């Protein structure tokens, strides 16, 4: 409605008031106009279509046939207008029509005081009637609440029929229902709501109004039953605070009911004062009804919730554009979050966790201690993280208290933490209102203080680990011993262990091996300050299988405990597995080196036995091929994986500002080493096939040892025969040998030649098996997604021998792969 339309309606209404009431003083006319406008603007019967029809029929029955037709025409025109209060207009006109002509001179109106603000006790104390845009909700003073027409034809308690129940009774029943109490008209149903007694006869309009107002009682009962269910013992401190907040809201609601009842009683006790009508209750109950609707919704949503989950549920209702609703939710949220806020302050200030009902979003396991404390004792209880706290904030909150307890329980560091913000937490907790807790402004005081507290505790933990417990020394020790970084030590240890590890597993004694390890350490150690690292170095024997030797079960171990164990102990088994893989590759290298050395040592003998030279050359070729593969694998494992990963790890370690960051960096390093040494899940097939490639090396070792032994025997036998011949010639002065000696020598040489033929066949078969396995291994490397593995395939086939045999190895790396490889290489450098 625009301004001109509003003015025309006011002018028409003013003409109607003057025509009925006559001319009066301006003050009285303003009262008449305000009252009339209040009736016209009322929305009590809005959307009740049956009332409009019944009103139309009632008016039509009072008119003549001609006037009834004219009324229908006017009523239809009224329906076409954009008016939302047609029912109230018809009620107004009907009431006006019931005034007799002889009473117009003596009519007297008593209007409500439509004052702005909160004039009445009800309006000032209920807390449910806030200001609205353009006007203020208000409760009308009941001393002058109705128009007194001084006519027996008009009765506010009987609008349409003398047979309807008194409106005073309906009003009193409604006041009872507001408290959840049955009356004469309204009866409770099984759903906590109210139904009208079927024995009572009331009009349709009254029925609709009563049922609508009785919703207050239904909502009150929903809230009350919810409070009763959440008030059971052991529900938790947050639930108790929630119930307390609801009680406070209901207390305000009961105050509203008390004032309404007082007004009802006053209208009954004072003569000449009209009674309270349903319209009054409708006007007064608007804001309490809205409040109870929200309270009921919150109660329903929070059933079965506790702790941080309950706070999250309440917090969701704060996303509302209505300022009144936001204030209501804020009041409840302040009460609900108060216990959580106190737990938070104690946790980040002292690392104390007092949560008997498991409501806080940090949980503790009392049975965990030692190096598992950091990983398992304290965790985030995800179901209890309030929705106004992000995952990053929850992680920092967890880390703050956990760091305090880690320093005390594991590091045995009881020195007080220093910091300005920590003193604020301990001494001035009241300065931080609980509202800042569920606001969690990233730039707010609480968030800033919490970030500082987290930084202080985390920095202290890092300092203790690096300076007091020498974390870097232990990491260097693991890299040097378990990851074969101490090459001279590993080489010396392997030489010393050779006789012992060659024995069957059941013939090996751990204490003998331990003493050998200690000897190797003392012989190769150059730093006196590595004593703690050396002391932690230990051996371990894996569970043996049948026919295995010490080489198959021996591994080095590194004992860690205390704060260092927190970082290293979870990865201890991985380090053992990596050592075993590197140790196996190192052993293959040692075997091939021994074969090569034997070949060199026996070269003089081979030159005097021409029939042996083809075998020796064949072994030499096979050994050369194997040496290249083992050297390339060792280089790949030790330098392109481990060293590159170590450089990245050392850089991350230097930038780490918390224990969590150290653990993450270390886990990344270990995972990178696993992946680079083909021990991760994705490389399992590659590693299994690499073991099969190592198989022919062990077979070659056995063939070589047998070959050297048989060749040496034959060589020595021939030397003996030659010596015998020389001795015989010197003694008898005759040239020649006996028939018996010739037969023995011939038989021996025949068997030796037969052995050489068999060995040649075995070597060809071994060479073919080895080449087939290497070829398959190269194909697996070339088809891997990792560019470094593709390049390893190229380096293993440096002379392109296998590429010439298999076209699948011919395809070169793409430009993109070459570029990625160069970047990876430069990064490692």
Of the candidates 556, 619, 569, 560, the residue with the CA atom closest to the CA atom of residue 770: 619
**pLDDT, tens digit, for every residue of 368-401?**
888 889 999 999 999 999 998 999 999 999 999 9
pLDDT band at 261 (very low <50, low <70, confident <90, very high): very high
CB-side exposure of 95: number of CA atoms within 13 Å?
A: 20
Residue 24 dihedral angles phi and psi, to the nearest 5°: -135, 180
**pLDDT, tens digit, for every residue of 48-63?**
334 677 777 778 777 8
Give the per-residue pLDDT at 735.
Answer: 58
Structural domains present in the chain: 337-468 (no CATH), 470-559 (no CATH), 560-828 (1.20.120)
Q: Regarding predicted confidence, which is higher, 15 or 41?
A: 15
Lowest mean per-residue pLDDT among 437-441, 596-600, 665-669: 437-441
| Kind plus residue range of the DSSP H or E element containing 558 | strand 554-558
What does the alpha-carbon distance between residue 702 and residue 693 come to, in Å, rounded to a whole number? 16
**pLDDT, tens digit, for every residue of 656-668?**
999 999 999 999 9
- Structural contact between residues 669 and 649, judged by C-beta atoms closer than 8 angstroms: yes
Does the structure show a pLDDT above 50 at 229?
yes
Does the structure show a pLDDT above 50 at 231?
yes
What does the alpha-carbon distance between residue 312 and residue 459 come to, in Å, rounded to a whole number? 32
**pLDDT, tens digit, for every residue of 731-766?**
666 655 566 667 888 888 899 999 999 999 999 999
| Sole residue written with tokens 């891997």 | 784
Q: Regarding predicted confidence, which is higher, 269 or 213?
A: 213
What does the alpha-carbon distance between residue 394 and residue 348 come to, in Å, rounded to a whole number? 11
Name the DSSP letter for residue 14: H
Does the structure show a pLDDT above 80 at 770?
yes
pLDDT band at 146 (very low <50, low <70, confident <90, very high): very low
pLDDT band at 192 (very low <50, low <70, confident <90, very high): confident
What does the alpha-carbon distance between residue 516 and residue 494 come to, in Å, rounded to a whole number? 10
| CB neighbour burial string for 45-57, b if at least 16 within 10 angstroms, e if fewer | beebeebbebbbe
- Structural contact between residues 142 and 276, judged by C-beta atoms closer than 8 angstroms: yes
- Structural contact between residues 563 and 474, judged by C-beta atoms closer than 8 angstroms: no
Does the structure show a pLDDT above 80 at 276?
yes
Helix ranges (DSSP H) in 502-571? 510-524, 531-536, 562-568
* Radius of gyration of the chain, Cα coordinates, nearest whole angstrom: 49
Which residues are 504's β-sheet partners? Answer: 549
Mean local confidence (pLDDT), 515-534: 82
Helix ranges (DSSP H) in 783-814? 787-796, 801-805
Does the structure show a pLDDT above 90 at 223?
yes
What residues contact residue 283 under an 8 Å CB cut-off, 6+ apart? 42, 44, 137, 138, 139, 140
Give the per-residue pLDDT at 164.
Answer: 62
Which residues are 131's β-sheet partners? Answer: 136
Sign of CA dihedral 383, 385, 391, 397: negative
Mean local confidence (pLDDT), 577-582: 94
Does the structure show a pLDDT above 80 at 23?
no
Q: Regarding predicted confidence, which is higher, 647 or 418?
A: 647
DSSP 386-452: -TTS-HHHHHHHHHHHHHHHHHHHTS---PPPP-HHHHHHHH-GGGS-THHHHH--TTSHHHHHHHH
What does the alpha-carbon distance between residue 568 and residue 668 come to, in Å, rounded to a whole number? 12
Sign of CA dihedral 6, 11, 14, 15: negative
Residue 132 dihedral angles phi and psi, to the nearest 5°: -125, 170
pLDDT band at 346 (very low <50, low <70, confident <90, very high): very high
Sign of CA dihedral 94, 98, 101, 107: negative
**pLDDT, tens digit, for every residue of 447-478?**
888 888 999 999 999 999 999 999 999 999 99
Give the per-residue pLDDT at 447.
Answer: 84
Q: Regarding predicted confidence, which is higher, 818 or 403?
A: 403
**pLDDT winner (highest mean) among 108-117, 160-169, 273-282:** 273-282
Mean local confidence (pLDDT), 212-241: 91
Question: How much is the mean pLDDT over the chain?
Answer: 81
What residues contact residue 337 under an 8 Å CB cut-off, 6+ apart? 311, 386, 434, 437, 438
Residue 558 dihedral angles phi and psi, to the nearest 5°: -135, 115
- The three-class DSSP label of residue 363 is strand
DSSP 71-84: HHHHHHHHHHS--S
Give the per-residue pLDDT at 273.
Answer: 60
- Structural contact between residues 362 and 397, judged by C-beta atoms closer than 8 angstroms: yes
**pLDDT, tens digit, for every residue of 681-716?**
999 999 999 999 999 999 999 999 999 999 999 898
Does the structure show a pLDDT above 60 at 671?
yes
- Structural contact between residues 205 and 45, judged by C-beta atoms closer than 8 angstroms: yes
What does the alpha-carbon distance between residue 796 and residue 792 come to, in Å, rounded to a whole number? 6
What residues contact residue 676 under an 8 Å CB cut-off, 6+ apart? 636, 637, 640, 641, 642, 644, 645, 788
Of the candidates 632, 661, 650, the residue with the CA atom closest to the CA atom of residue 789: 632
Residue 810 dihedral angles phi and psi, to the nearest 5°: -80, -35
CB-side exposure of 315: number of CA atoms within 13 Å?
A: 20
- Structural contact between residues 589 and 631, judged by C-beta atoms closer than 8 angstroms: yes
What does the alpha-carbon distance between residue 764 and residue 4 come to, in Å, rounded to a whole number? 112
Give the per-residue pLDDT at 117.
Answer: 26
What does the alpha-carbon distance between residue 663 and residue 42 come to, in Å, rounded to a whole number? 69
Give the per-residue pLDDT at 803.
Answer: 87
CA separation, residue 75 to residues 1, 8, 203 (Å) = 20, 19, 22
DSSP 647-714: HHHHHHHHH--SHHHHHHHHHHHHHHHHHHTT-SGGGHHHHHHHHHHHHHHHHHHHHHHHHHHHHHHH
pLDDT band at 602 (very low <50, low <70, confident <90, very high): confident
Name the DSSP letter for residue 374: I
- The three-class DSSP label of residue 147 is coil
**pLDDT, tens digit, for every residue of 64-82?**
777 877 887 788 777 766 6
What does the alpha-carbon distance between residue 474 and residue 559 come to, in Å, rounded to a whole number? 10
Give the per-residue pLDDT at 828.
Answer: 47
What does the alpha-carbon distance between residue 164 and residue 458 come to, in Å, rounded to a whole number? 78
Which residues are 186's β-sheet partners? Answer: 196
What does the alpha-carbon distance between residue 158 and residue 536 come to, in Å, rounded to a whole number? 99
- Structural contact between residues 311 and 210, judged by C-beta atoms closer than 8 angstroms: no
What does the alpha-carbon distance between residue 378 and residue 363 come to, in Å, rounded to a whole number? 6
- pLDDT above 70 covers a percentage of the chain that reads 80
| Kind plus residue range of the DSSP H or E element containing 362 | strand 362-364
What does the alpha-carbon distance between residue 773 and residue 778 come to, in Å, rounded to a whole number? 9
What does the alpha-carbon distance between residue 347 and residue 302 come to, in Å, rounded to a whole number? 26
Does the structure show a pLDDT above 60 at 819?
no
- The three-class DSSP label of residue 537 is strand
Mean local confidence (pLDDT), 210-237: 90
Region of residue 188 (phi > 0: left; psi between -120 and 50: alpha; otherwise: beta): beta
- Structural contact between residues 491 and 524, judged by C-beta atoms closer than 8 angstroms: no
Q: Regarding predicted confidence, which is higher, 172 or 432?
A: 172
What residues contact residue 82 under an 8 Å CB cut-off, 6+ apart? 1
What does the alpha-carbon distance between residue 790 and residue 798 come to, in Å, rounded to a whole number? 13
Give the per-residue pLDDT at 60.
Answer: 77
């Amino acid at each position: 409605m625009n301004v001109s339309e509003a003015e025309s309606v006011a002018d028409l209404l003013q003409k109607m008031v003057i025509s009925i009431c006559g001319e009066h003083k301006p003050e009285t006319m303003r009262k008449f106009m305000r009252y009339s406008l209040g009736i016209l603007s009322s929305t009590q019967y809005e959307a009740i279509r049956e009332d409009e029809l019944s009103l139309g029929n009632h008016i039509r029955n009072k008119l003549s046939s001609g006037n009834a037709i004219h009324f229908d025409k006017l009523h239809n025109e009224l329906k076409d207008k954009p008016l939302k209060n047609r029912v109230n207009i018809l009620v107004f006109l009907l009431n006006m029509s019931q005034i007799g002509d002889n009473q117009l001179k003596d009519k007297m109106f008593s209007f409500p005081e439509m004052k702005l603000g909160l004039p009445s006790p009800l309006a000032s104390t209920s807390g449910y009637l806030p200001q609205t845009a353009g006007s203020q909700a208000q409760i009308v003073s009941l001393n002058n609440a109705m128009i007194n027409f001084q006519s027996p034809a008009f009765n506010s308690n009987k609008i349409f029929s003398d047979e309807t129940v008194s409106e005073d009774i309906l009003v009193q029943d409604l006041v009872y229902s507001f408290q959840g109490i049955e009356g004469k008209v309204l009866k409770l149903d099984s759903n906590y709501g109210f139904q009208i007694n079927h024995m009572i006869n009331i009009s349709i309009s009254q029925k609709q109004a009563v049922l609508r107002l009785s919703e207050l009682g239904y909502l009150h009962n929903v809230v009350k039953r919810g409070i009763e269910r959440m008030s059971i013992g052991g529900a938790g401190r947050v639930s108790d605070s929630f119930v307390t907040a609801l009680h406070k809201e209901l207390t305000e609601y009961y105050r509203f009911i008390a004032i309404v009842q007082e007004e009802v009683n006053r209208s009954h006790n004072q003569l000449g004062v009209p009674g309270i009508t349903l319209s009054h209750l409708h006007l007064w109950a608007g804001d309490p009804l809205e409040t109870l609707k929200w309270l009921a919704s919150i109660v329903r949503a929070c059933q079965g919730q506790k702790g941080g989950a309950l706070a999250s549920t309440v917090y969701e209702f704060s996303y509302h554009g209505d300022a009144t609703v936001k204030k209501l939710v804020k009041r409840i949220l302040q009460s609900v979050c108060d216990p959580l806020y106190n737990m938070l302050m104690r946790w980040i200030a002292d690392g104390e966790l007092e949560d008997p009902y498991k409501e806080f979003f940090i949980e503790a396991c009392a049975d965990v201690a030692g190096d598992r404390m950091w990983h398992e004792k304290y965790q985030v209880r995800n179901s209890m993280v309030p929705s106004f706290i992000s995952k990053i904030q929850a992680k920092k909150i967890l880390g703050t208290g956990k760091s305090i307890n880690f320093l005390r329980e594991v590091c045995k560091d009881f020195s007080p933490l220093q910091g300005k913000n920590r003193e604020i937490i301990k001494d001035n907790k009241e300065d931080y209102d609980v509202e800042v807790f569920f606001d969690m402004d990233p730039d707010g005081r609480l968030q800033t203080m919490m970030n500082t507290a987290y930084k202080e505790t985390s920095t202290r933990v890092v300092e203790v680990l690096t300076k007091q417990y020498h974390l870097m020394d232990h990491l260097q020790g693991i890299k040097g011993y378990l990851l074969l970084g101490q090459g001279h030590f590993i080489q010396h240890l392997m030489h010393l262990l050779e006789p012992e590890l060659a024995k069957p597993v059941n013939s090996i004694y751990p204490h003998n091996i331990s003493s050998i390890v200690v000897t190797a350490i003392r012989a190769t150690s150059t730093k006196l300050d590595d004593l703690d690292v050396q002391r932690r170095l230990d051996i371990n024997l894996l569970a043996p299988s049948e026919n295995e030797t010490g080489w198959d079960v021996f591994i080095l171990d590194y004992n860690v405990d205390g704060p260092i164990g927190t970082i290293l102990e979870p990865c201890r088994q991985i380090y053992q597995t990596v050592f075993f893989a590197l140790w196996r590759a190192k052993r293959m290298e040692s075997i091939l080196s021994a074969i090569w050395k034997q070949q060199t040592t026996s070269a003089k003998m081979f030159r005097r036995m021409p029939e042996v030279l083809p075998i020796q050359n064949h072994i030499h070729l096979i050994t050369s091929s194997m040496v290249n593969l083992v050297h390339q694998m060792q280089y790949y494992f030790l330098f392109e994986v481990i060293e590159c990963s170590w450089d990245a790890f050392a850089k991350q370690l230097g930038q780490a500002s918390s224990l969590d960051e150290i653990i993450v960096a270390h886990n990344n390093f270990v995972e990178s080493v696993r992946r680079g040494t083909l021990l991760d899940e994705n490389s399992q097939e590659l590693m299994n096939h690499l073991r099969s490639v190592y198989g022919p090396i062990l077979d070659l070792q056995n063939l070589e040892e047998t070959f050297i032994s048989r060749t040496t025997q034959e060589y020595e036998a021939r030397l003996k025969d030659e010596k015998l011949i020389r001795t015989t010639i010197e003694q008898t002065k005759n040239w020649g040998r006996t028939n018996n000696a010739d037969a023995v020598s011939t038989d021996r040489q025949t068997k030796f030649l037969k052995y050489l033929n068999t060995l040649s066949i075995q070597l060809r078969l071994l060479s073919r098996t080895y080449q087939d396995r290497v070829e398959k291994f190269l194909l697996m490397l070339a088809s891997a997604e990792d560019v470094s593995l593709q390049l390893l395939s190229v380096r293993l086939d440096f002379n392109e021998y296998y590429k010439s045999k298999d076209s699948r190895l011919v395809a070169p790396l793409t430009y993109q792969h070459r570029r990625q490889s160069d970047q990876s290489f430069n990064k490692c450098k």
